[in-house]
Structure 1
Amino acid sequence: MQARDVKGSLRALLWDVDGTLAETELDGHRIAFNRAFAQQGLPWQWDRSTYIELLAISGGRERLRWFLQRQQGGEPEASLLDALHQAKQAHYRELVVAGEVQLRPGVRRLIKAAATAGLQQAIVTTSGREAVAALLENQLRDQSRLLPLRICADDVGAKKPDPEAYVLALQRLGLDPGQAVALEDSQAGLAAATAAGLRCLVTLSTASSQDSASLFRAASSLTDGLGEPTAPIRVLRGPACAGGLITLSYLEQLPPVP
């Protein structure tokens, strides 16, 4: 089935990964960092509250560099930074393969619905390509082919909240901002999406649910998830959602970016 040709109608979904597709941050990346520290014989362990604070820094490598700078009182050695980040990536893949990181409720349902309706779909994330591939191939499996365009940290010079990744995704898809909706979970992701002119649904993750709802005023809709028939969602800001399920019809009616 072909996507609808009506100008301005919904033609694509642009998916963030960490916190949006899956609860990767606290249950995946944090644990992987801690295992990398232990592997290198370092005394650091990031608890949940510490990691939530570190999420203010976009990008895992940037987060690690910032932490090392403060622990060591200066720029960390490149060899240490590289070794820790590579070890962390390996531990993250192991966690994903072991099924320790699961997709959030409603993700598979909405990806399938969008594909059936003929919408284009893309990944737009500040994560590295290897981490993204590990999650998609192990959790979405055959459905991962429905997300062929993947804009990752490797593809851009500036990470979210800079809009570069979203601007690039729209260019690759050949769409105007009004023809797509971004799905995000964080303040940085929301800022990137709206700066690119996109409507944005924010589904709060375990980490971002600690933030005040007032920080997401720019969202077209703010919810606590995508929902399943047995687990309806709550809308915290934005249009009411009949049945407690985020659907394509709901996304299409979202108000445009001011």
Structure 2
Amino acid sequence: MASSVIYSPSTAAPSSSHTKLFKICNIKQQNAKFISPSSFLGKNLAISNDLNTKKLRSMKKRSSLVNCSVSPPAPPAALLFDCDGVLVDTERDGHRVSFNDTFTERGLGVSWDVDLYGELLKIGGGKERMTAYFNQVGWPEKAPSGDAERKEFVASLHKRKTELFMALIEKKLLPLRPGAAKLIDQALAKGVKVAVCSTSNEKAVSAIVSCLLGPERAEKMQIFAGDVVPRKKPDPAIYTLASTTLGVDPASCVVVEDSAIGLAAAKAAGMKCIVTKSGYTAEEDFENADAVFDCIGDPPEERFDLDFCGSLVVKQYAS
């Protein structure tokens, strides 16, 4: 079982290790300062001590000297983001609304409320979600009866739903989650390959990346989405495809996900995975995650950064 870092900004306090670090580094405050949990995470602490035992016992004497330096780890080879719930919290007020508007336009008499849609999100992929729902509760009267025709029917619904969803994105009615743009900028500045790996339609994901992250970031990022792989998350196919296409070792990749099925896909692909909980996924089981946060976060409320991502990869190779 993987060890996880779980951080809750409302309740977290420096751990005992941070407390010890504070005591060591403040032997002479003008030469060292306390490193906060958010900035300490992800960095290798190197402490050089030129004191002998007797001098340590007499720290009150101002002749003591401790030098603390922080050396950031090498960044991961690739940073892979899920889209919905990670870059943007789109599910409840974006995708769900667009599904319902499509059902209304087609006169299907179907509406997914907030709780129901939360259950349906356990199924990866919009077309797969609709198919599973109709198979369980019964197909609408206007739906065809043959399997091939029903597949086309679902595809047409999904196409229209994507158009409606893209209109929401283009109007910028759904903002980026805190820290997403910051972490992408840090990665691109260090030459880290950045990609988005999503079960959502490729057009919808591209719209989010180009409209909300901007064209300059978008042109430096690759998108793996929709039906680019035959099996959706929790199958690892999309992450395996990303690492192969980008030419990087899966073990050197760090994934940012928000759901249990995304976490399962990332781990099955042999990658490190950080979970940033979203509105629908807060209560899911993330025991196997390498770290769990409520978001990525922007300063001064930053939860983690690229150095922290790099530390996870260093840990893997060191273990």
Assess same fold via TM > 0.5.
yes
Aligned to 1:226: 296
How many residue pairs get matched? Answer: 236
Task: Tell whether 2:134 aligns with 1:68.
Answer: yes
Normalising by the residue count of structure 1, what TM-score does the alignment of the two structures yield?
A: 0.85
Distance 1:26 1:179 in 2: 33
In the TM superposition, what whole-angstrom CA distance separates every residue of 1:192-240 from its partner, at most 9, and x where no partner exists?
11111100000001110132xxx1111110110001114x2xxxxxxxx
Shift of 1:246: 1.3
Indicate how the Cα distance of structure 1 residues 114 and 79 shifts in structure 2: closer, same or farther if over 3 A, else same: closer
Q: 1:125, 1:151 within 8 Å by CA — same for their partners in 2? A: yes
Aligned to 2:278: 205
In the TM superposition, what whole-angstrom CA distance separates every residue of 1:122-151 from its partner, at most 9, and x where no partner exists?
11111121111111111112221221x211
Distance 1:10 1:207 in 2: 28
Distance 1:48 1:198 in 2: 32
Q: Which AA in structure 2 matches 1:248?
A: L
Shift of 1:101: 1.8
Instruction: Indicate the structure (1 or 2) with the bigger Cα radius of gyration.
Output: 2
- Structure 1 residue runs without a partner (length 5+): 1-7, 233-243
Q: 1:151, 1:165 within 8 Å by CA — same for their partners in 2? A: yes
- Structure 2 residue runs without a partner (length 5+): 1-73, 140-144
Indicate how the Cα distance of structure 1 residues 115 and 43 shifts in structure 2: closer, same or farther if over 3 A, else same: same
Aligned to 2:213: 140
Q: 2:81, 2:196 within 8 Å by CA — same for their partners in 1? A: yes
Q: Which AA in structure 1 matches 2:303?
A: L
Task: Tell whether 2:317 aligns with 1:251.
Answer: no
Task: Tell whether 2:101 aligns with 1:35.
Answer: yes
Shift of 1:178: 2.2
Identity %: 36
Q: What SS is found at the alignment partner of 1:249?
A: helix
Q: Which AA in structure 2 matches 1:187?
A: A
Task: Tell whether 2:10 aligns with 1:10.
Answer: no
In the TM superposition, what whole-angstrom CA distance separates every residue of 1:33-68 from its partner, at most 9, and x where no partner exists?
010011011222211111101001110110011112
Aligned to 1:190: 263
Aligned to 2:250: 177
Distance 1:77 1:121 in 2: 37
Distance 1:67 1:12 in 2: 36
- Could you tell me which of 113, 116, 129 is aligned with 1:47? 113
Indicate how the Cα distance of structure 1 residues 227 and 9 shifts in structure 2: closer, same or farther if over 3 A, else same: closer
Q: 1:124, 1:165 within 8 Å by CA — same for their partners in 2? A: yes
Normalising by the residue count of structure 2, what TM-score does the alignment of the two structures yield?
A: 0.70
Distance 2:258 2:138 in 1: 32
- Could you tell me which of 144, 148, 157 is aligned with 1:84? 157
Task: Tell whether 2:90 aligns with 1:24.
Answer: yes
Q: Which AA in structure 2 matches 1:68?
A: F
Q: Which AA in structure 2 matches 1:146?
A: K
Task: Tell whether 2:192 aligns with 1:96.
Answer: no
Q: What SS is found at the alignment partner of 1:256?
A: helix
Q: 1:201, 1:220 within 8 Å by CA — same for their partners in 2? A: yes
Aligned to 1:241: none
Distance 2:159 2:167 in 1: 13
Indicate how the Cα distance of structure 1 residues 221 and 58 shifts in structure 2: closer, same or farther if over 3 A, else same: same
